[in-house]
Structure 1
Amino acid sequence: MDRAVSRAFCLLEVLASASEPLRLTEIAELSGLQKSTAHRILATLVELGYARQEASGRYAATLRAWEFGARSAAQLPIKRIAAGFLHGLHRTIGETVSLTLLSGTDVLYLDKIIAPRPVRFRTRVGSRVPAVLTASGKAILSQRPDGPDLVRRSAEQQGLDIAAVEAELDEARRRGYALSGYSPGVSSIGVAVGAGGAAAEAGLSVSAPGERLAGESRDRVIEALLEAGARMSEALARP
């Protein structure tokens, strides 16, 4: 691995993950680099347009990296195919719907349509979250042959009770959907999506305050999710 390249990406990730512009000292601490090294790499990132330095001297990421990421995401067949199903699900249910993709032991949020009655979410498009913490992630893992191994690895990393998580996924496999309360005050229901007999790689989820996902409303959401997931899987299987 080229150290210079890895350091540059490390600093870019630090800037992109920050909620506000950072001082050089903060960047050096978060990246584990010496200030002189961080300063030199930041100067290059600024010159290339991937970072900017504000009048205060703090640094922030620009939208340059987002441009490449957005283009790559747009080229994914699953994102193109999922668009219609996401919008249809959103119109039917009226709650926030998301498309996620399994990436290692995490899920990556590829798309999200926010409800007219918004709630506070921890996730946004581009967010990466441990799969075992999300409804769609649990649904995906419950349908994969390597799910048990991924569950153990992720549960250990998160300090979770492996047996409890495995039991939860067994239940998700049996009923066809998974539940989660990852964001405080928000409940989520997720289903897995896969092409034909291939292992599930994506998931659809609906999120809303717990009181809006109860009783008949919850039953309606589950029915709509299962139908959308099945139809999307069929669409992915077509040549």
Structure 2
Amino acid sequence: MNEAKAPGVAAKVMGILDAFAPGDPALTLTEICRRTGLPLATGHRLIGELVAGGFLERRRDGSYRVGLRLWQIAAQASAATVLRELALPFMQDLYEATHENVQLAIVREGRALYLERIRGPRSVPIVSRVGTELPLHATGVGKIFLAFGPAELLERAIGDGLGALTRQTITDPARLRAELAEVRREGFAVTREEMTLGSCSVAAPVRDARGGVVAALSLVARSGAVDVRRLAPVVVAEARALSRDIATRGNPEILAEPSFR
């Protein structure tokens, strides 16, 4: 009988870096080892080497965070970099018009991955940061992907379980399907305290030259301070303007790595 091969050094290092993927800005040695299954001694040695190489940084409190060297390498991911650069002027216009949180996201491995955001001193605090992954069913951008994406994306989300992030999160598959049908009719998605209590959002699809949805643009505001449905037209307008810019440029990096087909 063949015994399972122990993970090599590369696999262990990838596991350490992947431990930060859920969006935690800092982790202790114990937390990293618990997530990776590595012995403390092995984790300490490998983390020390990653710190020496600039891939991780050790904070004053002894915890670790992603280092600038890893960020420099990740920033060269062509599709994400090009899309962020194209989107920023439209995101800035949207921020200037509303002074609310503005976000750009794509879908990766069944979750919303945030590529960029703009916020100001008046903006409501939000949980998403650049590089954060959040559930599709509880976010405005996620509803865009579920509404306009392939059927298997929605079925996967339902199969994985529509977890309740707040008491307002939609957890019933039938209710979610009905709301996604409305998103397709109206061309935008809204959330009301479904991801975080105290905030609401509106999102619109960003399309490529062939009409495929490659990203979603969203605005997040404080609940009760504004009716996000009234802000939908400006979000949709900026998303469409960005889509036209992408189509005009016919950028191969974006077209080569769509969010889904």
Which residue is 2:188 aligned to? Answer: 177
Task: Name the SS of the counterpart of 2:213 in structure 1.
Answer: coil
Measure, in 1, the Cα distance between the counterparts of 2:121 and 2:143: 26
After TM superposition, the score normalised by the length of structure 1 is 0.86
Equivalent residue runs for 1:94-173 within 5 Å: 94-144=99-149, 146=150, 148-159=151-162, 160-173=171-184
Deviation track 1:138-172 (CA, whole Å, cap 9, x = no partner) reads: 1133122x1x2111212332433322222111110
Once the two structures are TM-superposed, the CA of residue 60 in structure 1 deviates from its matched residue by 4.2
Q: Are positions 1:188 and 2:201 aligned together?
A: yes
Q: Which runs of 5+ in 2 are unaligned?
A: 163-170, 251-261
Give aligned pairs, total.
233
Which residue is 1:79 aligned to? Answer: 84
Q: Are positions 1:223 and 2:228 aligned together?
A: no
Go from structure 1 to structure 2 and tell me whether the alpha carbon gap of 1:218 and 1:51 turns closer, same or farther (over 3 Å shift). same
CA contact (8 A) 2:102 2:118 kept: yes
CA contact (8 A) 2:95 2:118 kept: yes
Go from structure 1 to structure 2 and tell me whether the alpha carbon gap of 1:29 and 1:110 turns closer, same or farther (over 3 Å shift). same
Measure, in 1, the Cα distance between the counterparts of 2:72 and 2:42: 27
Once the two structures are TM-superposed, the CA of residue 56 in structure 1 deviates from its matched residue by 6.8
Letter in 1 for 2:44: H
CA contact (8 A) 2:117 2:129 kept: yes
Measure, in 2, the Cα distance between the counterparts of 1:211 and 1:57: 40
Bigger CA drift: 49-58 or 77-86?
Answer: 49-58
CA contact (8 A) 1:99 1:202 kept: yes
Deviation track 1:53-88 (CA, whole Å, cap 9, x = no partner) reads: 567765444222122223336863221211111111
Once the two structures are TM-superposed, the CA of residue 191 in structure 1 deviates from its matched residue by 0.5
CA contact (8 A) 1:151 1:165 kept: no
Q: Are positions 1:26 and 2:31 aligned together?
A: yes
Measure, in 1, the Cα distance between the counterparts of 2:200 and 2:44: 43
Identity of aligned residues (%): 27
Q: How large is the RMSD of aligned CA atoms in angstroms?
A: 2.5
Q: Are positions 1:207 and 2:220 aligned together?
A: yes
Letter in 2 for 1:88: D
Measure, in 1, the Cα distance between the counterparts of 2:236 and 2:42: 51
Which residue is 1:197 aligned to? Answer: 210
Measure, in 1, the Cα distance between the counterparts of 2:50 and 2:88: 34
Q: Are positions 1:36 and 2:55 aligned together?
A: no
Letter in 2 for 1:9: M
Q: Which runs of 5+ in 1 are unaligned?
A: none
Once the two structures are TM-superposed, the CA of residue 111 in structure 1 deviates from its matched residue by 1.0
After TM superposition, the score normalised by the length of structure 2 is 0.79
CA contact (8 A) 2:25 2:65 kept: no
Which residue is 2:12 aligned to? Answer: 7
Measure, in 2, the Cα distance between the counterparts of 1:209 and 1:79: 25
Letter in 2 for 1:170: A
Task: Name the SS of the counterpart of 1:133 in structure 2.
Answer: coil
Once the two structures are TM-superposed, the CA of residue 11 in structure 1 deviates from its matched residue by 1.1
Point out the structure with the larger helix share: 1
Deviation track 1:15-35 (CA, whole Å, cap 9, x = no partner) reads: 57544451x333322221222
CA contact (8 A) 2:124 2:221 kept: yes
